[in-house]
Amino acid sequence: MKYFTHKLYLRFNSADRTVVARAHEEWETAIENYREHIDQIASRLTPSVRKLTKALCLHDAAYLGLGRPKIPGLHHSIAVLATRKSATAFLLVYILAKEPRFQEAGERWPFSKKNVHWLYDEFDVDSDGNQQHEVLLSNGKSITFQFKDLQLIKDQVDVNLDVA
């Protein structure tokens, strides 16, 4: 993550009000800088990714998991990231350029690793022209996808589902 980093998130949740106030200012700057970044790379993003950067906010969505189905005859591997926000399930289907990368928070992560939620995400384009999506989860892990295209599937779900 370049803008919404693990370290900034930790400072934003500090017990020290001065640290929180500074982090809040940094957070607002990160939001502005990220929006400028998206505007700068918009022409290099696929239409589906451009649409997602403007229309989808999964902050606080429940992270349901990541699947890697094998589909015979498909030239690229895929990954499917599942989330739920309120009564809507979201499946992000990535046509991968490279295998997903997983990263743990560098420092001890003080927050619960149960009931994992989507915190923040960032889109980018790598030096090879692949789309990139990095997602920071509430358990301190981040997942980076480098992909050719991304499709969103959403559907209404029973909100009484027991999701562990």
Q: Give the chain's residues under pLDDT 50.
A: none
Overall domain count for the chain:
1
At 112 the pLDDT is 76
104 part of a folded domain: yes
Residue 81: which domain range?
46-156
CB 20 within 8 Å of CB 11? yes
- Residue 46 and residue 66: Cα distance in Å, rounded? 22
The reported pLDDT for the residue numbered 70 is 87
Q: What is the pLDDT of residue 14?
A: 84
In 10 A of CB 98, how many CB atoms?
14
User: What pairs with residue 133 in β-bridges?
Assistant: 123, 145
Q: 0.75 exceeded by the pTM? A: yes
Q: Is residue 34, in this structure, part of any structural domain at all? A: no
Please report whether residue 58 resides in a domain: yes
Residue 47 CB neighbour total at 10 angstroms: 8
Q: For residue 27, is it within any domain?
A: no
Does residue 87 lie within any of the structural domains?
A: yes
Q: Is residue 65 assigned to a domain?
A: yes
What confidence score (pLDDT) does residue 160 get?
Answer: 65
Distance separating alpha carbons of residues 100 and 130, to the nearest angstrom: 13
**Is residue 82 in a domain?**
yes
17 lies in a domain? no
- Predicted pLDDT at 7: 86
